[in-house]
Structure 1
Amino acid sequence: MWTGRAVLWALIVVIVVNGVRAPFERFTQQNAPSGAAPVAGSGFPTVQASAFAAQFAEVYLNFDGARLAERESRLAPYLPEGAEAQFGWDGFGRMSAGAVQPYGIEVVDADNAVVTVAYQSENRRQLLSVPVYHDYAAKRFVVAGRPGILPAPRAADLPPKAAPERDRAAEQELRTTLEDFFRAYAGDTTSLQQYADAGVTLQGFGGAFTFLQLKDLAVPLGGGNTREVTATVSWGVPSKATPSTDPEPADPGQAGGKLEQSYLLTMVKQGDKWFVKDIRGAHRSVAG
């Protein structure tokens, strides 16, 4: 009997405590700030922060002593209130940078991160480290301190790769077909589809380039009626200038040029004809 009474009283105490605690928890949750920041690392908007820093870098890394006011007005949307208008630049000299892209991000805490962007300035590839602060309540960013320019890693050493044995007979057989294909791929969209495998729709350049030469065609041994081939093509780059009778214009930009590109094609043989099933960018070259 005493054991039963003890269990009953314990049950009553639990019900009373839960009845008091539940309204209290609801009240505190309703009065919590709506813009409260999450704990560190639980949701910092890295994509948006990277975009913000890249836009800032595009403005920050381009300056000219003759255009102070323009740079000042363009920097203003990124800087905290009261920040120096040129943000560390004394107003002399000039610098130009482009190819600005997000490179990495280090989340410091729930509100702060350091975004690194890569850029190109003349013949140098470099990095810019940008500290940013995120206001969760307002959903806004601001540059939180002076950026830092860093050298970018140099290009990797490309190890040599052994060349596969080539099927010279298949290369000879495919050459004429692929020359005609790339000629149509450059501009003759009407006839392009006749080179496509069944069910494949090809889309060419529509006249943006002209076909000059199939410089190389590599077909590895084996594969039967489906072959993966690598083609190196020389495209003609048209000039935007008015045609001139001068064989060597003073401005090389006025002359048509050429551009070599490499492609990986999947070729399928049906009967005695070859058709293109797929075309995409080639893999790495054999040379180291």
Structure 2
Amino acid sequence: MARRSTVHDPRIADGPGLSATLDAADFDTPPPRRPRRGGWSGGGGRWLVWTGRIILWALIAVILVNGVRAPFERFTQQESASPAGVTPANKGFPAEQGMSFAAQFAGVYLNFNPDDAASRSRKLAAFLAEGMDPQMGWDGFGRYAAVAIQPYDIEVADAHNAVVSVAFQSGPRRLMLSVPLYSSGGEAGRRFVVAGRPAILPAPAPAQLPQVAEPETDDATAAELKPQLEGFFKDYADGDTAGLQRYVAAGKSLPSFAGAFTFSQLKEVVVPVGGATREIQAVVVWAVPNGDVPATPSATDPAAVGGTLEQVYRLTVEKQGDKWFVADIRGGGRVLG
């Protein structure tokens, strides 16, 4: 009995077993990809494009912020420099130059006598506007003299107009002259003219000096210092440099009067309680010469004695060893004691 062959013939359709015919679907489906390890899955140089965009937008943002902030800062700075309602000093009027001009005018205006009327008129012309009275209200009679003329105060109306107060002395009286001025603003604010008639006014009364408590004094040290100070002031007046240095503290050097005055008397020494360095006051009487003849305080002839002038000094004294020495000398304040 013959056996059937088990070998499948591919030519036989619908036969059992595996078919050797290829399915088209096998070609349409791509093979699965294996995952990549590391790196960025972006395509090509796309990451460079995004980085550039980020930098560009950041730059644009900085430019916009600075562009908005700069005008705002300038505006706020201007506001802080010139707050609303605040005007420049003296409202723009050149006060210092104007006060000097007024004081110079006062020196001419406040001094007159009939013998000098024509000269005064010519001098006043340098200060007056055209067409003003050349004598500024003086009728040509009487005499007046003023000294110690100094600018005192100014009241500014605006950038062109002000009234200057000038202090002066006439005889025993201290007075004020009020001078109206106009400034044209030309030549850097140095052009002025007297804008109207001046007015003489009383000066302010002297201030009331309050009483102060007297300090505790060291009379024993004052007695110890007095002979030292007498020698010091004698050489201080005479200008004896070598002699003066004997009374001056080590390492210090003081100028002298070099004979301008003659020492007459050490009237008072006020020494406060303290240590080896103290600030004291000394009341000194100087002999003032009569003319070119030096004063001689011990002379019996009044003409040779000359005059006297009492003054107050502050001295810094230091005790070195068993002696006191002068370290500094200045003008005194209020006399204490």
Q: TM-score, with normalisation over the residues of structure 2?
A: 0.68
> Structure 1 residues 90, 46: closer, same or farther in 2, change over 3 A?
same
- 1:90 aligned residue: 139
Q: Distance in 1 between matches of 2:177 and 2:235?
A: 44
- 1:284 aligned residue: 334
Do residues 110 (structure 1) and 159 (structure 2) align? yes
Q: Distance in 1 between matches of 2:93 and 2:245?
A: 48
Do residues 227 (structure 1) and 278 (structure 2) align? yes
Do residues 59 (structure 1) and 108 (structure 2) align? yes
The structure 2 residue matched to 1:137, chosen from 169, 186, 198, is 186
> Structure 1 residues 67, 190: closer, same or farther in 2, change over 3 A?
same
Q: Is the 8 A contact 2:91 2:158 kept in 1?
A: no
- 1:152 aligned residue: 203
The structure 2 residue matched to 1:183, chosen from 230, 234, 243, is 234
Query: 1:162, CA displacement in angstroms?
Result: 2.0
Higher RCO (Cα < 8 Å, 6 or more apart): 1
- 1:33 aligned residue: none
The structure 1 residue matched to 2:250, chosen from 198, 211, 230, is 198
Secondary structure in 2 aligned to 1:195?
A: coil
Q: Is the 8 A contact 2:284 2:312 kept in 1?
A: yes
Query: 1:225, CA displacement in angstroms?
Result: 0.5
Query: 1:188, CA displacement in angstroms?
Result: 2.5
> Structure 1 residues 134, 264: closer, same or farther in 2, change over 3 A?
same
Q: Is the 8 A contact 1:40 1:109 kept in 2?
A: no
More off after superposition, 69-78 vs 84-93: 69-78
Ranges of 4+ aligned residues in structure 1 off by more than 4 Å: none
Unaligned runs of 5+ in 2: 1-63, 65-86
> Structure 1 residues 255, 149: closer, same or farther in 2, change over 3 A?
farther
Unaligned runs of 5+ in 1: 1-10, 12-37
Do residues 101 (structure 1) and 150 (structure 2) align? yes
How far does the alpha carbon of each residue in 1:95-151 deviate from its partner, in whole angstroms, 9 at most, with x for none? 011011111111110011111011110111111111111121233111111111110
How far does the alpha carbon of each residue in 1:200-227 deviate from its partner, in whole angstroms, 9 at most, with x for none? 3211111110000000000011x21101
Q: Is the 8 A contact 2:312 2:335 kept in 1?
A: no
> Structure 1 residues 101, 178: closer, same or farther in 2, change over 3 A?
same
Q: Distance in 1 between matches of 2:113 and 2:106?
A: 15
- 2:80 aligned residue: none
Query: 1:189, CA displacement in angstroms?
Result: 3.5
Q: Distance in 2 between matches of 1:100 and 1:182?
A: 34
Instruction: Please say which structure displays the higher CA radius of gyration.
Output: 2
Secondary structure in 2 aligned to 1:95?
A: coil
> Structure 1 residues 212, 39: closer, same or farther in 2, change over 3 A?
closer
More off after superposition, 131-140 vs 100-109: 131-140
- 2:23 aligned residue: none
Q: Which AA in structure 2 matches 1:93?
A: G
Q: Is the 8 A contact 1:39 1:110 kept in 2?
A: no
Q: Distance in 2 between matches of 1:60 and 1:165?
A: 53
Q: Which AA in structure 2 matches 1:218?
A: V
Query: 1:55, CA displacement in angstroms?
Result: 1.0
Secondary structure in 2 aligned to 1:78?
A: coil
Query: 1:159, CA displacement in angstroms?
Result: 2.3
What RMSD, in angstroms, separates the aligned Cα atoms of the two structures? 2.4
Query: 1:255, CA displacement in angstroms?
Result: 6.4
Could you tell me the percent identity over the aligned residues? 56
Do residues 265 (structure 1) and 312 (structure 2) align? no
> Structure 1 residues 255, 142: closer, same or farther in 2, change over 3 A?
farther
Q: Is the 8 A contact 1:189 1:203 kept in 2?
A: no
> Structure 1 residues 203, 241: closer, same or farther in 2, change over 3 A?
closer
Q: Distance in 2 between matches of 1:43 and 1:196?
A: 52
Q: Is the 8 A contact 1:265 1:277 kept in 2?
A: yes
Q: Is the 8 A contact 2:281 2:335 kept in 1?
A: no
> Structure 1 residues 97, 202: closer, same or farther in 2, change over 3 A?
same
